[in-house]
Structure 1
Amino acid sequence: MTDRNAVTRAALGGGHVTVERVYDHPEAEAGTVRVFVDRLWPRGVRKDSFHYDDWAKDLAPSTELRRWYSHDTSHFREFRARYRAELESDAGRESVDHVRALAQGHALVLLTATRDVAHSHAEVLAEFLDENR
């Protein structure tokens, strides 16, 4: 990807995992599965303003964790550990498996409205998907 906010990940079922902001690249791409992974819809964005194949709300951090983190990058290490624990839960594994099934054999794009992609749950999720193929 040429998008500076995109973070390329290793192979996942024949494709790769990328993280993009919903505002940066709204179009569909051939051979990709685009999954919106925020719990809340971005303010001021119409649902038809960017392409996504699935909205995986359940893959977003819990409301409690999201509020605790509040995008304070000094808490990112602890946030990462807590969020990964949520992904390891039974409900988290079910949601992860759902996204893996959608992306089987395709490149996967995780979409988020977060400004700081490098310190976002989408980044942690991409790492998690990469490590737990």
Structure 2
Amino acid sequence: MIRVKRIYEPPSSDDGVRILVDRLWPRGISKDETKVDLWLRDVAPSDELRRWFSHDPAKWEEFKSRYFNELRNNPKVKVIIEMLREGKTITLLYSSKSPYNNAVALREYLELLLS
């Protein structure tokens, strides 16, 4: 099972493996209070793609297409896929206030790979 959660929300017992998928550590939050099990900054979109997208809903579909292309050859995706195949619940953590973010897109990408 793949969950998506904003890192500023409190951890819960049903989160499973908590994976931060942002390139930068979120502002104003300590590593101790977040209960991050794994920080996979390399699965975040490239800086160029992130700046181009800028959480613009009108660019969402194109963003996902470009981001999925970046993920295709990313070895860190295999780490997440292995956990899911082992039956682990994972929670993809992100810091953005926007519902249009890389964690949501990454969940969609992972679900496509597993289907």
Superposition TM-score, scaled by structure 1 size: 0.78
Higher helix share: 2
Q: SS in structure 1 opposite 2:105?
A: helix
Higher strand share: 1
Partner of 2:38: 54
Please say if residues 32 and 107 of structure 1, whose CA atoms lie closer than 8 Å, have aligned partners that are also in contact. yes
1:111 is matched by which residue type in structure 2? L
CA distance in 2 between counterparts of 1:31 and 1:109 reads 6
Task: Provide closer, same or farther for how the CA distance between residues 76 and 19 of structure 1 changes in structure 2, counting only shifts above 3 A.
Answer: same
Q: SS in structure 1 opposite 2:22?
A: coil
Aligned pair count?
Answer: 113
CA distance in 2 between counterparts of 1:113 and 1:59 reads 14
CA distance in 2 between counterparts of 1:79 and 1:36 reads 20
Structure 2 residue 54 is matched with structure 1 residue 70: yes
Q: SS in structure 2 opposite 1:49?
A: helix
Superposition TM-score, scaled by structure 2 size: 0.90
Structure 2 residue 69 is matched with structure 1 residue 85: yes
Q: Which runs of 5 or more structure 1 residues have no equivalent in the other structure?
A: 1-15
State, as a whole percentage, how many aligned pairs show the same letter.
Answer: 39
Q: SS in structure 2 opposite 1:71?
A: coil
**Runs of 4+, deviation exceeding 6 Å:** none
CA RMSD between the two structures: 1.5
Partner of 1:38: 22
Return the offset for 1:30.
5.7
CA distance in 2 between counterparts of 1:125 and 1:108 reads 12
Return the offset for 1:60.
0.3
Please say if residues 11 and 34 of structure 2, whose CA atoms lie closer than 8 Å, have aligned partners that are also in contact. yes
Q: Which runs of 5 or more structure 2 residues have no equivalent in the other structure?
A: none
2:89 is matched by which residue type in structure 1? A
